[in-house]
Amino acid sequence: MAVKEKINNPGELTELRNITVGSFLVRRFTESTNPELVEVAQRIHAYDYLISGYVSEDAIIDGKLRSEIDTARGDTVTYYLGQECGDDDNKASTIRKKYIAPDGSIEDLSAFGNSIGSLYAGEEDVLRSHISKFGAQSVVEVGALARACGSKSSVSMKLIRTAVHDAVRENPHERWMILFADPAYRSMERFYGPTVARRIGHEAIVSSGKSYINDKLSFIPSVIEPANVLDTLAQEASSPDLDSRTRSKRLQAFKFMSEGAEDIVLGDRAQDLYEQVMAGEQSA
């Protein structure tokens, strides 16, 4: 598999593109390549945040979050919209990635700015060192994971899987910085274990002072390394320290995340487990 060693311009990643895995369709786009789909994604984002209790109705104007709340704009932002083939956008999920501009810095990522006082000792240095070594676009803010009114949680999980694979193919050095709402982080941890989304700080309280934002929410600063997700899951699924039930969960997570990863180069442990999984499915 050919991969880019270093991405120098976020525009290199933002061409309009469709990705299909089985019966699941993902569209990737920016404000320049498909402004109409950006509108769809932003409306889904606003709807989900409203019903989840993150914001009140006053936070939404013309179906979208106020610009002072949702500041991720421009072509450093790449959107993903995923749904089962044949479904309309009312059954879609969305997620987005915000890159640092070539002349920007990590301070341009709100996930970093909102967690700076909560990061564990040394974690800021790790992020800055990674950028210094691999370029500004090697640390990416991932957020706005949201579902439309008719979408299922499985659609969001498939969308995350596709975005992970997409990142590995484009730039194996990419790291995602995410502020998980506490319930979402716990859900990720139960299924994927504690090391796929590695916690890098204490709970962060994002206080805006705006009456239409729920200031009681806490967020968990985390980092995901897409290129290591399958290797990490394979290691956990093979760990003798886990009970059989937890090991089974990790194997289930590995099987799920490996679907559509046929062209991705894996580490030895993940490759061995992948071949075992494929052999088991073929003989079933």
CB atoms within 10 A of CB 10: 23
pLDDT of res. 240: 87
Q: For residues 250-262, b (16+ Cβ closer than 10 Å) or e, as one string?
A: bbebbbebbebbe
Angstrom distance (rounded) from CA 160 to CA 192: 12
pLDDT of res. 214: 87
Q: What is the DSSP string of 158-189?
A: HHHHHHHHHHHHH-TT-EEEEEEEHHHHHHHH
pLDDT of res. 280: 73
The DSSP secondary-structure symbol of 221 reads E
pLDDT of res. 162: 95
What is the mean pLDDT for each group of 10 consecutive residues in the chain (284 residues)?
A: 34 63 92 95 95 93 92 93 92 96 94 93 98 96 94 93 94 96 90 93 82 87 96 90 90 94 87 84 54
pLDDT of res. 12: 44
User: What pTM did the predictor assign?
Assistant: 0.90
